[in-house]
Amino acid sequence: MGRLSKMEVKESKEALENYYQKCTTFKIRQRLRSLIYTKEQKFSTQQDLADFLDVDYATLKRWFKKYREHGLDSILKLYSGGNRKSVISDSLHKALDAKLHDSKAPLLGYWHAVDWVKQHHGQEINYQTLRGYLIRHFNSKKKHPRKSHYKKDDQALEVFKKTP
């Protein structure tokens, strides 16, 4: 049998329900429900409460420990990672944009892009990182048909068209 629920909830049931009504995040609402049900003593064991909320027993214990040590504010905040700083700077982004739209000397593939960044900007960027960045920001594709060759001479084309 599971451990008996002896958790003390400091806040009133009305205050917890008020927070519950204002909250829009499912994870926080679930945490608040666990406190409300504990305050009401609806379940005799914490295992029953965890089963009802469809969370693992260890997760419920972690929520209760956080609540006991830091209070209700710690339950109401989610700490899920952060914003990872991009490897590619703004100046490199602009240079890649210019290079991708250059019809005279385009990038011939993602490996060529990696080499080009290494030669012209002195940064060694992983192939998968640069490939993902180019696809995400510029909608680039590995292969795409070109209407004409990138080394095509426009004057030669005009001469060719004028010949009878």
* Ranges in the chain, pLDDT < 70: 1-5, 143-148, 163-164
User: Which residues on adjacent β-strands are paired with residue 45?
Assistant: 4
Q: Is the pTM higher than 0.75?
A: no
Six-digit token string for 83: 């914003």
The string of pLDDT tens digits covering residues 43-57 is 889 999 999 999 999
Domain boundaries, the chain: 13-75, 90-138
The string of pLDDT tens digits covering residues 72-87 is 898 888 877 777 788 8
How far CA 100 is from CA of 93, 116, 139, 140, 147, in Å, comes to 11, 11, 11, 9, 16
pLDDT of 2? 54
